[in-house]
Structure 1
Amino acid sequence: MEDERLWSFEESLWTEGPDNYREKVDPEVVMVLPHPPFVLRGDAAIAAVADTPVWDRAELTERQVSRPQEGLIVIGYHVTASRDGESYKAHCTSTIRRLEHEVWRVVQHQQTPALAKPLAQD
């Protein structure tokens, strides 16, 4: 999957509804989300994101792409998402694998909410 399509695929997971999640997220997915129970797998993970209202806008920046082997893509990025005056910022990773020609599924996703102020380092 070329980069432009990859980022469009990932952005759609922020801005499109539950049917999109069910199509693009693998049934064996593992997710780490910023709310209890935090670590989710499979149908529970898909349900958790499907029950979340979609964002009107999602800007993916600080983009990193790794292709460790054929048919496997790992991405990292910062997202700023907004809807109805609400905003959300997080650092994220996703791992996407190819099932067959032009058919890709998310097998891992993680979100770490961005801190308003970075922690002091010793």
Structure 2
Amino acid sequence: MKTESFWAEEENFWLEGPDFYRANMVPDAVMEFPEPTGTLKGPQILAALENAPRWEKVVFFDRSREMLGNKVRLTYRAEGWQNGEAIYVAKCDSTYVKMGGEWLLTHHRQEPIGS
């Protein structure tokens, strides 16, 4: 992935399924979701995706990207869409690490905004 593709890559993590995750995250990645899901690590992330509905659309606002050596941190507000409506709004951050010439997701966190 080229550095200018981080936002497209991030969008794919919202829209795509387990195969995309397998190819684009480190094996021991950590994802922090609101309860009841909570914190998932590595294989737990893939297992949770197997039967989970994916978002049909996601829109990012207030985007920021910080680069430091072999790491990149994205921070943003996301609106997740299903059935033509924005039904989920969250503050998010994701960290990517460069390994073997590839940028891979190592950490993702979501904090819901509103009800």
TM-score range, shorter chain: 0.7 to 0.9
Give a deviation string over 1:38-94, Cα, whole Å, max 9, x none. Answer: 1221111232244421111110111111112x2210111111111224521111011
Q: Does 1:45 align with 2:45?
A: yes
Deviation at 1:37, TM superposition (A): 4.6
Aligned: 1:83 with 2:96:
no
* Separation in structure 2 between the aligned mates of residue 15 and residue 37 of structure 1, nearest angstrom: 18
How many angstroms does 1:27 deviate by?
1.1
Distance 1:46 1:89, change over 3 A: same
The list of structure 1 runs, each at least 4 consecutive aligned residues, that deviate by more than 2 angstroms after superposition, is 45-52
TM-aligned CA deviation for residue 7 of structure 1: 0.2
What whole-Å deviation, never above 9, does each CA across 1:19-49 have from its counterpart, x for those lacking one?
Answer: 1112112111111111335122111123224
| Contact in 2 for aligned 1:27/1:42 (Cα 8 Å) | yes
TM-score, normalised to structure 1, is 0.82
Distance apart, 1:2 and its partner CA: 2.4
Corresponding residue pairs, total:
113
> Once the two structures are superposed, what CA deviation does each residue of 1:73-119 show, in whole Å capped at 9, x if it has no partner?
01111111112245211110110011122x22111010001114xxx
Percent identical residues: 30
For residues 88 and 78 of structure 1, the distance between their equivalents in structure 2, rounded to whole angstroms, comes to 10
Superposition CA RMSD, Å: 1.7
Name stretches of at least 5 consecutive residues in structure 1 with no aligned partner.
Answer: 117-122
